[in-house]
Structure 1
């Protein structure tokens, strides 16, 4: 058009020219901006068409695409592994618990006897008693002559197949047999040591049992056994009287030792010193048969100790801690207290669940029962307060009563302050 001015490129043309990139310049992505830029920058790239390789990650490596059920499968595998480990742990604990049962724990024990105990002619009697036990025994030299020690041979757990087949544990008990003559001499030396020493000093217990040179003696529990002490003292005194020389011909060798002059009170005082200062117990036995019975009882007690310790560590089944082990759960609002009270009544001997429920229904709490006792005027009325409560029996269908015996026992249990009182006279 003539006379018209020449116009520059329009807005669309200018926008298009702004995106023209030279072939010599590196291509760079425009930096995003705006409120949705951060979300857009952190979002993964969209998946390509089917069959195309996965989009590359920030480091140029292809991103692994997770299957929809892969996370759930991994959780199931971990849960199965945990269940397998828990079952194995329970199986090992059950196997160890079965070994500690009283009927089986004695088979794990081994009695180690010093050969010096076989020198006496009467030792066959106690060896016969020892052989009757359901346990092993061996004769091998001990650190203390004429002593007996115990070992526990525990099989290795199931989770350690490469370890030793049997794990041996040394018990802390040591039984030492002392001859009557030697025991009296040692006891006399002990009495002289703490009589002549200052009152504040500790007596020398090595006079009775030399333990200073023994390794690990502080972790052991020692006990002494003396067989035939009374018979030895009686025979020694009679022999001393028969061999007593005339006044003009005294022989020092024929005179009895000073240890035989110890009275029974002095011997008891020395035994108290041994018990208090050295924790050493002394057992006096008359025959070798009694010595064998003592070794047998001590072996059984040592064998059952882990079982009793395991029982003591368990919680009481009647505590209101939960619903496991026949317990009762008590809620914060008091729900379950009636069940606990009924279980407590059921702990008495010869009390059925129906009898306990009848008493708990008549007096729903211990405080209500104590109030009923306070309202009674005489002791006989208190003892017979629960005797006429009817009890419904599901077996016979006939109603019966609680009875005066159980009523008396519950009354004494509720009001007595004597911890040694025997409630059940027929037990």
Structure 2
């Protein structure tokens, strides 16, 4: 009876649990979404969607900035390439073989009265140099102009720059008449003013000297009107004469003094040089040489701009460029060892690799107790390169030791 009651009790208990499970729960289950909202700096609540939109906008802005920076760098690179290209083109134009093509020789029409001028014209045409005949400026003169490489160049008129060199070609008789005219002027009273002196200089002395006086007049006016010009007078003697070598048969002593006075006056007062040439062939050679010298001017001026123009960059150069941070000193140390006789680049590199600076090598010498050990310090260094392994050797080691430690400036290293 007790057993049956216990079984019924368990059955009732189980049924009660089942009934309890089947009963609906009185409490409702609410699932809360995760609050992804954040707050701005001023305390305003920002929803998750808005925050995602702002993050997208921020990423887009950053991407746009990177794109703009990339475009800017690309544009700067293109501009740098363009500047280098233009600089290379200007440098190419400044080379003498190219710059001479921009020069034009202006020959005064008065020189064409002499048949020998054809020699000059044929030579210029044969060299394919530009020249033109003009009837203005200083009579019997030859001057040069060139095209301006840049619009901002100083003294450029309509894109043309006039060179400072001017030649005045005259005959020997005209030079004699100029000497006589100068003598007449110097005989005038020293108390006369400069205006009166010029009037006496330009006043005709006679029909014979009228042409020479006219040349002297034009030369004086030209030098007064154009500052900075370097005028050279070429006198064609027509026979074996040079400056200061006049013969007694052609000139008396007084005439020689008059000629020397004119030379002194032209050179000191007017800064005009005088050259005596045999004929048109030598005049032509002088014009050709001066034209070539003018063509080399810009390139030489450009090469002279650096502080050390003789130390050109390049592996073929003997110089080594050293930066302010010391980059390049190791190469200088290697070159210093390599300058010694019978020292290859590999042997010099072996020494400088073991001791990167002269001070380190001197310190190593001081640490050795004996002189013999100091001389043989570098002898066992291995030289890298070549068909077989080798050493620096005692001979080179001794020479380097003498180079760094000897106090005798006249000591021979070999």
Instruction: Give the TM-score, by structure 1 length.
Output: 0.53
Matches within 5 A, 1:213-232: 213-214=221-222, 217-228=226-237
Q: Match for residue 89 of structure 1? A: 83
Residue 218 of structure 1: how far off its partner (Å): 0.5
Residue 272 of structure 1: how far off its partner (Å): 3.8
User: Is the 8 Å Cα contact of residues 130 and 295 (structure 1) preserved in structure 2?
Assistant: no
Distance 1:70 1:395 in 2: 57
Distance 1:179 1:344 in 2: 60
Distance 2:348 2:69 in 1: 48
Instruction: Report SS of the residue matched to 1:177.
Output: strand
Q: Match for residue 250 of structure 1? A: none
Distance 2:255 2:236 in 1: 18
Between the two proteins, the alignment pairs up a number of residues equal to 301
Distance 1:149 1:136 in 2: 12
Q: Match for residue 170 of structure 2? A: 178
Distance 1:90 1:218 in 2: 37
Residue 266 of structure 1: how far off its partner (Å): 5.2
The partner residue of 2:275 within 263, 283, 286 is 283
Distance 1:266 1:396 in 2: 80
User: Is the 8 Å Cα contact of residues 229 and 284 (structure 1) preserved in structure 2?
Assistant: no
Distance 1:347 1:266 in 2: 61
Residue 156 of structure 1: how far off its partner (Å): 6.8
> Any unmatched runs of 5+ in structure 2?
1-39, 152-157, 203-212, 362-382, 397-407
Question: How far does the alpha carbon of each residue in 1:367-423 deviate from its partner, in whole angstroms, 9 at most, with x for none?
Answer: x9xxxxxxxxxxxxxxxxxxxxxxx99899999x99xxxxxxxxxxx989xxxxxxx
Instruction: Give the TM-score, by structure 2 length.
Output: 0.55
1:292 equivalenced with 2:292 (yes/no): no
Matches within 5 A, 1:17-416: 40=41, 49=49, 67-153=61-147, 167-190=159-182, 193=185, 208=216, 210-211=218-219, 213-214=221-222, 217-228=226-237, 261-263=254-256, 267-316=259-308, 327-329=320-322, 336-337=328-329, 339-340=331-332, 343=335, 354=345, 357=348
Residue 217 of structure 1: how far off its partner (Å): 0.8
Residue 297 of structure 1: how far off its partner (Å): 0.6
Distance 2:165 2:342 in 1: 42
> Any unmatched runs of 5+ in structure 1?
1-38, 55-62, 158-165, 241-255, 369-391, 403-413, 417-427
Taking structure 1 as reference, are residues 394 and 275 closer, same or farther at Cα in structure 2, changes over 3 Å only? farther
User: Is the 8 Å Cα contact of residues 113 and 142 (structure 1) preserved in structure 2?
Assistant: no
Taking structure 1 as reference, are residues 173 and 343 closer, same or farther at Cα in structure 2, changes over 3 Å only? farther
Taking structure 1 as reference, are residues 299 and 341 closer, same or farther at Cα in structure 2, changes over 3 Å only? farther
Q: Match for residue 246 of structure 1? A: none
Instruction: Report SS of the residue matched to 2:227.
Output: helix
Taking structure 1 as reference, are residues 341 and 194 closer, same or farther at Cα in structure 2, changes over 3 Å only? farther
Instruction: Report SS of the residue matched to 1:68.
Output: helix
Residue 181 of structure 1: how far off its partner (Å): 2.1
Higher helix share: 2
Instruction: Report SS of the residue matched to 1:219.
Output: coil
What is the Cα-based RMSD across aligned positions, in Å?
A: 5.5
Residue 357 of structure 1: how far off its partner (Å): 4.9
Distance 1:269 1:357 in 2: 66
Distance 1:129 1:104 in 2: 19
Instruction: Report SS of the residue matched to 1:106.
Output: helix
User: Is the 8 Å Cα contact of residues 337 and 343 (structure 2) preserved in structure 1?
Assistant: no
Residue 143 of structure 1: how far off its partner (Å): 0.8
Taking structure 1 as reference, are residues 273 and 74 closer, same or farther at Cα in structure 2, changes over 3 Å only? same
Larger radius of gyration: 2
